[in-house]
Amino acid sequence: MAVNKSPKPTAAFALSALAGLITLISAFIASTVSSLLIPGIDSSMILIWGSIAGILTLVGSWLLYNNAAQRKIGSILVLVFSVISLNFVGLILGLIGGFLGYTFKGASVATSNTSGR
């Protein structure tokens, strides 16, 4: 079995995954707080929308890290759903992580030919 030695966008993955987790957690917190503070409000849409955005941000971060062929698609998912999440911290982290993943170029390994040919 060959080991994949290609460089991976670790910083982009970490920031994007953190943005997805923060979006998920803040969706649950916002849903709970809004239902407690305003008794007549239906906070299920906040929970549903935040959960979808958080999960798809996490999926995008996994795609941009796991497979080089799907890196652009994963980065676009992170960018779009971090903007849609309506969460400021998740937005900033998702934008930075998405742009890092989208512009990631693998480190080119320069090999020198020392045989004199």
- 92-111, pLDDT tens digit by residue? 999 999 999 999 887 654 45
| pLDDT of 70 over the 70 cut | yes
Q: Indicate whether 116 belongs to any domain.
A: no
Name the average pLDDT for the chain: 85
Q: Indicate whether 109 belongs to any domain.
A: no
Q: Indicate whether 62 belongs to any domain.
A: yes
Q: Indicate whether 26 belongs to any domain.
A: yes
Domain enclosing residue 90, as ranges: 10-102
> What's the domain count of the chain?
1
Q: Hey, what amino acid is at 86?
A: L
Phi-psi domain of 111 (left: phi exceeds 0; alpha: psi -120 through 50; beta: other): beta
Interval 64-90 mean pLDDT:
90
Q: Indicate whether 111 belongs to any domain.
A: no
Q: Indicate whether 98 belongs to any domain.
A: yes
Q: Indicate whether 113 belongs to any domain.
A: no
Contact present, 111 and 103 (Cβ < 8 Å)? no
Q: Indicate whether 4 belongs to any domain.
A: no
Q: What is the pLDDT of residue 106?
A: 72
